[in-house]
Amino acid sequence: MPDQDLAARGVLRHIAKSPLGFPCRVTLEDAPVGQTLLLLNYEHQAADTPYRSRHAIYVSEAATQTRRAVDEIPGCLSARAHISLRAFDSAGMMTAAEIAPGAGLTPVIERMLSDPQVSYLHAHNAGRGCFAARIDRN
């Protein structure tokens, strides 16, 4: 789509300028330098609660398949200095939140998901707060 048509929908085209900082929410990896991405608003928390939320995400124009990471921390999370993890119950109410280093997410995720009240987690980049991923139990 041409840039003006994207802009009419609130979407901007960006080119990855560094190897870190342009995380694709479809591939769950940072786009390589020079790759084009679309910056758009995405409703990642649709529950009709005070925690309903939308935020900016990048989607690589080269992405062809949605990646589902099972029992692994994808590169777009592990490479970050810090990730904000937010726990939600089945009604979409936040029950807990923690900030953890990207390289040390596994034990924090496991601990948060061990709470039977928690239905799922959302991961956000701690700096800009962009939605990074949803984490569910297997």
If you average pLDDT over every residue of the chain, what do you get?
93
Give residue-wise pLDDT tens across range 48-80: 999 999 999 999 999 988 888 888 999 899 999
**What does the pLDDT profile of the chain (138 residues) look like in tens digits?**
899 999 999 999 999 999 988 999 999 999 999 999 999 999 899 999 999 999 999 999 999 888 888 889 998 999 999 999 999 999 999 999 999 999 999 999 999 999 999 999 999 998 888 899 999 987
Amino acid at site 51: Y
Task: Check residue 90 and give its pLDDT.
Answer: 95
Domain range summary for the chain, segments of one domain joined by + = 3-136
d(Cα 3, Cα 12) in Å, to the nearest integer?
Answer: 7
